Structures are given as C-alpha cells and as structure tokens.
A and B are shown apart, each in its own frame.
Chain A
Amino acid sequence: MSSGVIAMHSVKVHFGEGESAVLALDGMDLSIQSGEFVSVLGPSGCGKSTIIGAVAGFTRISAGELSVDGRAVTAPGPERGVVFQQHTLFPWKTALENVEFGLKMRGVGQRERRERAREILETVGLSEFSRHYPHQLSGGMQQRVNLARALVNRPRVLLMDEPFCSLDAQTRLQMQELVLALWEELHMTVVFVTHEVDEAVYLSDRVAVLSRRPARVKTWIEVDLPRPRTHALLTTPEFARLKREALDLLLGEARQPILEQRLPRSA
C-alpha cells in the first residue's frame, strides 16, 4: 500500500502532429521516492502540467520510460489521485456523492461508501456541506471536496496541478496546511506542480526547478527544513535563503528569452 515510487527516464511528450507539433517534455528524468513530497516549479508554459498528465495516464508519452511502483503507466488509475487547478467535481453530484465516486466505481456497497465518504469529508472540514452541489460551494471548499474525492481511494500517489492558484491568499495558506496534515497522516507520495516559489519550498522535501520548454529538470533544491511545518516557517531566515535560491533559478530562466531577443547574436 504505502509505496508510490515514480520513475521517469528520458521521457518525451509531443502534442500535435507534423509541422505544428510541440515538444512539451524532452528527455525528462525524474525519480521520486515512496512517500516523498516533491514540488515541480517552473516558468509558466514550460510543460510542468504535462508531467502530471503523463504520470496520471491522461497524456501518452512519445518516448522513454515512465513507471509507478515498477509498472509502466498506460492509463489513468485510482492509485494515482489527481487534483487539478480548477475543480473537476461532477456538477450533478452533491459533495458527498462526488467523494463517494471512487468507491462506487470499485463496487463498494452504498452504506459503506457513504460512511467512508462522510468520514473523509469531515477530515477536510466539510461535513456540514455534504448535501451541497459544487456550484453552491466556495472555491476553497470545492478544492477540499476534490482532495477528499481523490483521497477516498487511498492513492499511493497524489498528483496536484497548481491546485490552489485560483484561491485567495488566506484560503491558500489553510489549504497548504491541510495538505501537509493529510500527507503526514497518509504517507502517500505527492507531486505538486506550482509556479509559486513560497508554496513549493514550504510544502516540499525537494523542489525540481524546470527549464523553459521543452522542460527538463534544471536543478533540484533540497528543502531540509524541519517538519511538521506551519505558516510560521514562512518568515524564518532559512526559508528566505531557500526561497531566494529558487527565485534566482526561476527568474534566470524567465529572463533569458528577453535577452536573446534584444541582443543580436555575435557571429
């Protein structure tokens, strides 16, 4: 159960065909241990979401090897939970029915799945809203339900694609603490894609800083800050040091194309 080892070796991903084909990932190597919290940080449009899509099994890789717990990824599966940037709750199901979905697909009986869904909704602090439809919930609450829906399957890997970037700052902090608490409780492997430096450093064991497209891992930042972490960590000098390191790497990456445009290349 508590495995969740992700291995990517020289993975390539193309989108489109022929002339208009775009190379999103080129020779991507990524090796993530069981139970690790890894963030993927990169400039926007660099292909970081493609990593999530590939591991989740939505996006087919064009070359290389990609496996989770030694099994090649060919299709989506419940052992790899996904939380997207915008909520993907089923609008026609209540919060409780959304959370139940994974259990229903596995053939768990109505009474048991209802009970387990209730339990996990309580864990994310939404037991009073079990009968609400997604459009009746705030953005933060929707993402809580999304998280609960993915976690009800007890995934070995939780893939999160900029899950909190459309939330306000305060809600985002609360969600980050919730994710950390759930992760410490459940010990699943987490891959967290973000463009926010603070978020990446605050949450992770390691941060993979990506290059511009086609994305490769440019540098790994080891975050050796103590756990459990709370938002108090965000104002410590150790945090600031790691944040600056990450920012330098990230901004260097973003600035480059502008310089290339301005300065004519010497022959």
Chain B
Amino acid sequence: MNAARISSVQATPLRSELESDAARALAPRPRASRAWMKSVAIGAVSIASWLALWEAASVYEWSFFFRFENIPAPTEVIRATGELLDSPKFASHLLSSLRRVFLGFSIATALAVTAGLVIGRFRLAAQALLPPLEILRPIPAVAWIPIAILLFASSERSMVFITFIGAFFPVLLNTIHGVERIDQRLINASRSLGANEFDVFREVVLPAALPSIVAGLSIGMGTSWFSLVTAEMISGQFGIGYYTWEAYTLQKYPSIVLGMIGIGVLGMGSSLLVKRVARLFMPWLRAEGAR
C-alpha cells in the first residue's frame, strides 16, 4: 500500500487528536518514593515492637494462657543463629529442602499447566479428566504421606511427590480458570486473521491465561512449602522441617524458632521469585497505561 497517497486523510483535526493522546500516553507518572519509605518505616517499627513484646514475655516468663517459660527469647535465637551459621549443617538442611521444592514445584507446574490448558480448551478433556481430579483435589497433601511412602522406594522421592501434590491443584485450577475466562472475541479475531488451532493455543490461549496461571503458581509455591515441611517432619532426613522437629525432640528450643524463620524466609523468597520471573514474561502488564 502506498502510504503517501492516502496521507491526505490525516487532516489537521486528526493530528491534534493524536497529539493530545500522545501527551496522555507519554506523561510521566509522579514518583511515589516518599510514600514507599513511609510504609517501609511503619512496617519496620511494627516488626520491632512485636519482637520487643516477645522478648519481654520470655524474659519475664509470661504464663497467663500462653506459657512462655520454655519459649526462647529473640536474643537467644540470634545467639543460636550465630553458632549455626558457623557450622555447615543448617545450610545443608536448607539446601535439601530447596532442592525438593524446586523439583516438586517444577514437575507440578509442567503437568498442571499442560493439563489445565487442555481441560480448559477441550470439552472432551474436561469431561474425561475433571471427575477423577475433583475426587483427589480435596485430599490435603499431608494425607498423601503414607501412600507416598509406599509408592516410592526412597523417602526422598516421596517427599518430592508430596511437594508436587501441594503445588499441583492450585496451579491446575487457576490455569483452567484462566483458559475458561478468555474473551471469545479474541479467539474469533485470531481465527479471522488466519490462525489455526495450534496458533490459537500459542498466540491467544496461553498469553491470555498467563496472569491467572501466575496467580496459581504463586499460591502453589506456598502450598508446596507447607506440604514439604509437614512431610519432612514426619518422614524426613535433612530438610528444614526435619531440622525444626528434631530441635524440638532434642530440646534445642532456640533452633525451633530458627527453623520456623528459615521456613518463612524461604517460602516468602520463593513466592517473590515466582512473581518476579512471571513479570518478565508479561511485559504488557508492566507498561504504564494512558487510561
């Protein structure tokens, strides 16, 4: 097409419309760094206050309703942390948990996203696969532990399986939901532009469902940690859950708290990682809007 020949249609009113739109689209957004610093400060003060309350309760052995006499104070925990960080034991516990979560979560993601896309898109797949999955879904990952031990030769594999179960259903359900919510008009538009079924899947269904899939991954990461820690407490050797439970049986009370903090930090960190990585794949959500 010859652009020059029809450029006469772009008369003056059009230019002004475009320019005002351009101004809206390109205007810088006011920075919010002060508000951000304020909210961080409030959060820090809040955490510090709770720690101070806890310290006081332990030191003065609070005993009304809660019994704090055996609960280590934050200062004791910090001392224990210093000792632990010198020995490689704690790090190896963390690493073996991380490895299990990474494996179980990755396998769950691959299978659940694939299954979810197919179930969401094809009625036959939904009719065939959903009933058995719906029966399995309400069973908490913890309830799978005995069967997992019987199913797998090594306790290592059974724990990876439990993490897998923990992540699988949130990811699956969110993927199905994402696919079912796709605007049919987008699929129609792609077909009338020449897309075949495979193109529709790759170019429309997957990106349209991506935000929902990511929400599922974020939830799934949380539940897989939750499931893993329980599995490690029951059947584990090594791992942060095992470490925490062992600390209780050996009466190393500061280590219990340390284990809990480790679980919290790792869980939070891996959820954050999921969100960060996901954002790389969804640049359109990052783009600031004119409207």
* A interface residues, Cβ below 8 angstroms from B: 56-58, 75-78, 80-82, 84, 86, 88, 90-93, 101-102, 105-106, 119-120, 122-123, 125-126, 128-129, 132-133, 135-138, 140-141, 149-151, 153, 170-171, 174, 177-178, 181-182, 185-186
Q: Within the complex, which residue of A75, A125, A135, A151 is in contact with B291, where a contact is CB–CB below 8 Å?
A: A135
CA distance A125 to B18 in the complex (A): 8
CA distance A178 to B192 in the complex (A): 22
Q: Within the complex, which residue of B185, B191, B290 is in contact with A84, where a contact is CB–CB below 8 Å?
A: B185
- Distance to closest chain B CB from A152 (angstroms): 9
CA distance A82 to B291 in the complex (A): 25
Cβ contact within 8 Å between B193 and A78:
yes
B66 adjacent to chain A (CB < 8 Å): no
Cβ contact within 8 Å between B284 and A92:
yes
Cβ contact within 8 Å between B1 and A186:
yes
CA distance A136 to B17 in the complex (A): 15
Given A92-B284, A120-B1: A137 touches B6 (CB 8 Å cut-off) = no
Interface size class on chain B is 35 or more
- Distance to closest chain A CB from B193 (angstroms): 4
- Comparing B7-15, B110-118, B165-173, the segment that makes contact with chain A is B7-15
- Distance to closest chain B CB from A73 (angstroms): 11
Interchain residue pairs with CB less than 8 A apart (11): A84-B185, A88-B185, A102-B194, A125-B18, A133-B287, A137-B290, A138-B291, A153-B194, A181-B6, A181-B8, A181-B9
Cβ contact within 8 Å between A119 and B1:
yes
A-B contact count (CB 8 A): 127
- Which residues of chain B are within 8 angstroms of A120 by Cβ–Cβ distance? 1
Q: Within the complex, which residue of B14, B188, B288 is in contact with A76, where a contact is CB–CB below 8 Å?
A: B188
User: Which residue of B has the minimal Cβ distance to A83?
Assistant: B189
CA distance A58 to B183 in the complex (A): 14
- Which residues of chain A are within 8 angstroms of B3 by Cβ–Cβ distance? 119, 122-123
Cβ contact within 8 Å between A82 and B6:
no
- Which residues of chain A are within 8 angstroms of B6 by Cβ–Cβ distance? 123, 181-182, 185
Cβ contact within 8 Å between B287 and A56:
no
Cβ contact within 8 Å between A170 and B13:
yes
B30 adjacent to chain A (CB < 8 Å): no
CA distance A117 to B11 in the complex (A): 22
Cβ contact within 8 Å between B186 and A90:
yes
CA distance A58 to B25 in the complex (A): 34
B262 adjacent to chain A (CB < 8 Å): no
Cβ contact within 8 Å between B291 and A80:
no
- Comparing B31-39, B199-207, B245-253, the segment that makes contact with chain A is B199-207
- Which residues of chain B are within 8 angstroms of A153 by Cβ–Cβ distance? 193-194
- Which residues of chain A are within 8 angstroms of B282 by Cβ–Cβ distance? 92
- Distance to closest chain A CB from B291 (angstroms): 7
Given A125-B14, A135-B289, A170-B17: A82 touches B1 (CB 8 Å cut-off) = no
Given A137-B21, A174-B14, A185-B1: A91 touches B192 (CB 8 Å cut-off) = no
- Distance to closest chain A CB from B181 (angstroms): 13
- Which residues of chain A are within 8 angstroms of B13 by Cβ–Cβ distance? 170, 174
- Distance to closest chain A CB from B10 (angstroms): 5
- Which residues of chain A are within 8 angstroms of B215 by Cβ–Cβ distance? none
Cβ contact within 8 Å between B1 and A136:
no
User: Which residue of A has the minimal Cβ distance to B189?
Assistant: A88
- Which residues of chain A are within 8 angstroms of B11 by Cβ–Cβ distance? 174, 177
Q: Within the complex, which residue of B8, B21, B188, B199 is in contact with A58, where a contact is CB–CB below 8 Å?
A: B188
- Distance to closest chain A CB from B187 (angstroms): 9
